[in-house]
Amino acid sequence: MNSSHDAIISKGLNGIILSWNGGAERLFGYPASEAIGKFIGIIIPPDRLSEEPQILARIRSGELVDHFDTVRRRKDGSMVQISLTVSPVRDENDAIIGASKIARDISERKAMEIRLRESELRIRSLLDAIPAALFTTDERGNISYFNQGAMDYAYVPPKIGATWQNYKLYRPDGSAISLEHSPTELALKEGRSIRNQEVLIEKADGTRVPIIPYATPVIDAEGEVFGSINIAGGCQRAQTS
């Protein structure tokens, strides 16, 4: 138990620490001699103290507390993000007499999640700033992402998981483009990129705006189409229906 990288702690139902392994010493900074016999609150920040009675209540009812992400305090006062798994400890009569807690440091994982969210936000902000419509679909033509430009061009506001067919397309002569001949459907069904075909797109106010769509299939390692990327840039003239 002392060789484990995770902190392994046992405590009574009153929250008093009964055992404290080497992983707990490394994670929280308290040697076992200082931690054992103390209330578990020595590692709980003031704003998290309400968590302990809630956890103990679940333990008393025989419930396993699994992957509970929270924050705890080290001996030096610094905070550490951890994931807790707490299970009941039973005696020979199957009565619950305490709890066994495993705490894992997830600070690096949380920091990576923050960096990922920030990166996604920057990318989305960049894509929304592009003066063109951009949306992606799965292999069935359901929208998986769209930018602000795609909302501006839509006849009906797009929704994640909804069909891209909310866009009404026409040829330059005004004739409607059927679903099977639309750039997105051709890219999905035929697995080829569609380029440089000027079309008119009808907006919610009835205005038809000339655009040049670029529909590109997304193909996996086996050569199967599993989605599409669609970009449409506007031209300089407009028509009304």
Domains along the chain with CATH numbers:
7-110 (3.30.450.20), 130-240 (3.30.450.20)
The pLDDT, as a whole number, for residue 206 is 85
What is the reported pLDDT for 214?
Answer: 93
**For residues 28 and 19, what is the distance between their CA atoms, to the nearest angstrom?**
14
The answer to whether 184 touches 212, Cβ cutoff 8 Å, is: no
Q: Assign 167 to helix, strand or coil.
A: coil
Question: What are the b/e assignments for 182-209, b being 16+ CB within 10 Å?
Answer: bbbbbbbeeeeebeebebbbbbeeeebb
pLDDT attached to residue 215:
95
Q: Angle at the Cα of 201 (from 200 to 206), degrees rounded to 5? A: 110
pLDDT at res. 167: 76
Contacts of 151 (CB under 8 A, 6+ apart): 157, 158
Question: CA torsion sign, 204 to 206 to 210 to 213?
Answer: positive
Q: Which residue has the tokens 């080829």?
A: 192
DSSP letter at 163?
B
Q: Which residues of the chain have pLDDT under 50?
A: 236-241
In the block, residue with structure tokens 């103990």: 56
Residues contacting residue 88 through CB under 8 Å, at least 6 positions apart: 59, 60, 62, 63, 64, 96, 98, 99, 100
Q: Three-state DSSP class for 166?
A: helix
Q: What is the pLDDT at residue 3? A: 55
Cβ atoms of 32 and 25 closer than 8 Å: yes
pLDDT confidence of residue 1: 55
What's the pLDDT at 235? 57
Give me the pLDDT at residue 4, please: 67
Burial category of 170 from C-beta neighbours within 10 Å (exposed 0-12, middle 13-18, buried 19 and up):
middle
